[in-house]
Amino acid sequence: MIEELLKELSTAVIDGNKDKSLEITNKLLELGLSAKEILDNGLLPGMDVVGVRFRDNIIFVPQVLISARAMKTSLAILEPLLSKSDLRGSGTIVIGTVKGDIHDIGKNIVAMMLRSSGFSVIDLGIDTKVEKFLEAIKNEQADIIGMSALLTTTMGYMKTVIERLKSEQINIKTMIGGAPISKAFADQINADGYAKNASDAVKLAKQLMGIALREE
C-alpha cells in the first residue's frame, strides 16, 4: 500500500495536483512513514520526471510551476519534521537576481529545480546586493552561490560579487545564468560555471558538488 501511495504522490507532483499531493502526504505520515522517506521516495522522484520532461521540451514553464507548487504544498508539512541534515540534502545554494535587476522568473525556476533535486536553496530574491549574498553565504554555510541577470546593465554586477568573494577569501563555487549570459562571459569574470537553462543549472550544481550524474 505504501509503495502504491508513494507512486501516487509522484504522479500528483508530475500532474501538478497540489490537493492530491497534500492528501497523500498526510496519509503517508499517518501510516508512519518518515518525512525523509516521503521526500526521497515520493516527492523527489516526481520532480525528477518533471525535470527530465522540461529538459526535453515535453513540458514547459507552466507545467513546471504547478508541479513545484504541488511539491511545495507537501513540503510545507514535511519541513518541520525534517532534520537540518535532511534539508541540506545535496548541498546548500544561495541564489539571487543581482543588484539593479528585478527579473526573477528564470531564477525562480532554477531555484525550484535545484530544490527538487535535493539541494537546500536560500533564495534572496531580486535586486540582491553583494552584502546580502555574503551574509547569506556565511549564515547558511553555503556551498554554491547562483546569480541571475536578465539585463546587460546588471550582468556586470556578477563580477563585483565574485571579486568581493575573492577579496574576502570566501571559498565557494559560483554559477551564473540569464538571457544575456554566455560561457565566455562566465570565463571572463572567473565564475566556476554557466548554465543555459534550469536543467543545465541542476547538472552544473551537481558537478560543482562532485555528485555523480545519473544517466537519464
Partner 1 sequence: MTPRERMNNAMHLKAVDRVPVMCQLSIGHYFLNSGLDPLEIWFTSEGFAEALIRMREKYSFDGILINLPGRDPNYSNFIERIEKNEDGSIVHWRNGNYTTVPKDDNPHYYQNDGSRYFPTFEEIKPEELFYIEPWDLTDITYPYTWGFEKEPRPFDNFFPDYHLDTIRIIKKRIGNEYSVHSEVFSPWSQFLELLNYENALMAIMDDPKKVKACLESLTLGAIDLGKRQAKEEVDAVLISSAFAGAGLISREHYQEFVLPYEKKIVEGIQREFEIPVYTHTCGSIGDRLDLMMDTGTNGIDTLDPPPLGTVELEEAKKILGEKVFIKGNIDPVNTLLNSDEQNITKDVEWRLNIGKPNGGFILSSACSIAPYTPPKNIELLKNLAEKYGTYNK
Give me the amino acid identity at 29. Answer: L
Give me the amino acid identity at 49. Answer: V
Residue 204: count of CB within 10 angstroms of its CB: 21
> From the CB of 47, what's the least distance to partner 1, in Å?
16
Q: Which is nearer to partner 1, 91 or 106 (CB)?
A: 106
Q: Which is nearer to partner 1, 38 or 155 (CB)?
A: 155
Q: Which is nearer to partner 1, 138 or 153 (CB)?
A: 153
Q: Which is nearer to partner 1, 36 or 129 (CB)?
A: 129
> From the CB of 1, what's the least distance to partner 1, in Å?
30
Cα torsion 206, 93, 79, 203 to 10°: value is -20
> From the CB of 91, what's the least distance to partner 1, in Å?
25
- Describe the chain by its helix, strand, coil percentages, rounded to 5: 60, 10, 30
Q: Please give the residue ranges that form the binding site for partner 1 (CB under 8 A).
A: 16, 57, 59-63, 65-66, 69, 100, 102, 105, 108, 151-154, 179-180, 182, 196
Q: Is 90 helix (H, G, I), strand (E, B) or coil?
A: coil
| Contact in structure between 175 and 192 (CB atoms under 8 Å) | yes
